[in-house]
A and B are shown apart, each in its own frame.
Chain A
Amino acid sequence: MEKKLLRITVNNEYHELYIKPKKLLVEVLRDELGLTGTKRGCNTGACHACTVLLNGESVKSCSVLAMQADGAQVSTVEGLQDKGKLSPLQRSFLDHGAYQCGFCTSGMLMSATALLNKNPDPTKEDIKEGIHGNLCRCTGYNSIIRAIKAVAEGKYKEDDR
């Protein structure tokens, strides 16, 4: 099967790759680009552990053909920190223990990032909706909701790093 050229910018870095058209975005990110922060937990688009931002919108990277992201900007969890400085969400997650085994955490952070980018002042219900797709088996979600709320309430201003 003929390989196709994929031009994709991930975490502000531009890449050109030749891939089989059936490759999923999550496979390109993890296997071709070595960005294993994005995880996979199922085959039916249910768990959302593979959430990334595609042109600013949160999507399940297991349900996007890599070719459909040709020319797009993709953000993954690896792009949240800036030269070692953690983002407010990351710092809040640490303070609130908003992860346990950590496998769903990348997806949660990306969903939360998308939520706060669009709605910097979400209610608790908004937050529940914002991460509703993301399954977590360890935390019972409440610590994650608290962590996101704290950022929304301004407790982690960017310049406080």
Chain B
Amino acid sequence: MIHDFKYLRASTAKEALELIEQHKDDYKIICGGQSLLILMRQGLVAPECLIDIKHLDELNYIQFDKKEGLRIGATTSHRTVETSLLVKKHYPLLVEMEQNIASIQTRNWGTIGGNLAHGDPAGDPGPVFIALNGKVKVANKERERTLPLEEFFIDYFETALEEDELLLEIQIPPIPSKTAVTYEKFNIIKNDQPIVSVAASITLDEDGLSCKDTRIVLGAAAPAPARAREAEKLLVGKKMDDQLLKNVGEVASKEADPVDDIHATESYRKQLVNVLTRRMLGKAWKQAMGLAREEA
């Protein structure tokens, strides 16, 4: 049962930060609230005060700039990202990612900021944004700070947000040339939370074939979305090769630290990490080579 709470609504970001400061001992932010209300109904969370930022239009925006890249306000809904022409043009992977999250109803009401702030390692945006080298801007009443997303996720449902901080914006830099990013999640029922997921980016060198830079991000395979750094090291300087991909997949699966639960064993999850890593790297590599050829 949901316990009673004091309901406060903020109409500006400044007001929200003010209210947070005032109630920082016992408050929760509600935006889409789809994760929060479930926890509250189960009695796992019973804040004295709820600060509603759903209608904070100030944080509801998508902007793109060739130099700065993409900026998404925290209260932007998943559906807005999914249907944005800007996003489709410059970061089509994000559109694809959104189409595979939950349901239209959930995406209509749920927000990107809320998703990230929840800190669920099985969330989809986390790994994808990390693969895209994304950052988040957070603030409290006194100051703002920006940090890379890979430093934002700490543990299961634990982020780097301090108790008086609010997530304001997600920043995705422009995708470098000769770079492709891919993402796949494994589930039994389409759009369900992944059993594991892998986001992979490949940036090619001048020759348009060898890997200059890469990111392999594992989702739902550790307490937080995590990069498979040992696996990444194996790729730098190399050309695409089936045996190489097989090795990288195996190393990535060893770096994974997934749970054993009713949906899958730890061993199966690791096998999936292996397969998905191989597939996503191969896909990204092919796409990047195609882009390199176009550029040439």
Contact = CB atoms under 8 A, between A and B. Distances in A.
A68 interface: yes
B6 A48 contact: no
B34 A45 contact: yes
B104 A111 contact: yes
Interface of B: 2-7, 9, 30, 32-34, 37-38, 41-42, 50, 52, 54-55, 79, 99, 102-106, 108-109, 190-191
B4 A65 contact: no
B33 A44 contact: no
A53 to B, nearest CB: 10
A48 B105 contact: yes
B191 A132 contact: yes
A63 B33 contact: yes
Nearest to B192: A46
Given A63-B34, A63-B37, A68-B33, A21 B105 contact: no
A64 B109 contact: yes
B108 to A, nearest CB: 4
Given A43-B38, A65-B30, A132-B190, A1 B105 contact: no
A64 B33 contact: yes
23 contacts: A21-B6, A22-B2, A22-B3, A22-B4, A24-B37, A43-B42, A45-B37, A51-B105, A57-B108, A59-B108, A59-B109, A60-B34, A63-B34, A63-B109, A64-B109, A65-B37, A67-B9, A67-B52, A68-B33, A111-B105, A129-B99, A133-B105, A134-B103
Contacts of A48: 103, 105
Contact of A129 (B2, B5, B6, B104): B104
Contact of A67 (B2, B4, B7): B7
B2 A60 contact: no
A88 interface: no
A62 B37 CA distance: 9
A139 to B, nearest CB: 17
Contacts of B104: 58, 111, 114-115, 129-130, 132-133
Contacts of B2: 22
Main secondary structure of the interface of A (DSSP, over half): mixed
Interface string A37-62: 00000011100100100100111101
B37 to A, nearest CB: 6
A67 B9 CA distance: 9
Given A24-B37, A129-B104, 5 more contacts: A21-B4, A22-B3, A43-B41, A59-B108, A63-B37
Contacts of B38: 43-45
B7 A21 contact: yes
B10 to A, nearest CB: 12
Contacts of B3: 22
A7 B138 CA distance: 33
A30 interface: no
A58 B106 CA distance: 9
B103 A132 contact: yes
A60 B106 contact: yes
A59 B37 CA distance: 14
A65 B40 CA distance: 12
A20 interface: yes
A4 interface: yes
Contact of B33 (A51, A65, A114): A65
A54 B32 CA distance: 13
A4 B8 CA distance: 11
Contacts of A133: 102-106
A59 B105 contact: yes
A59 B50 CA distance: 21
Nearest to B54: A68
Contacts of B52: 65, 67-68
A62 B32 CA distance: 12
A59 B104 CA distance: 8
- Find the residue from A62, A63, A64 having the highest chain B CB count within 10 A: A63
Contacts of B79: 57
A60 B109 contact: yes
Contacts of A67: 7, 9, 52
Contacts of B37: 24, 45, 62-63, 65
A45 B37 CA distance: 9
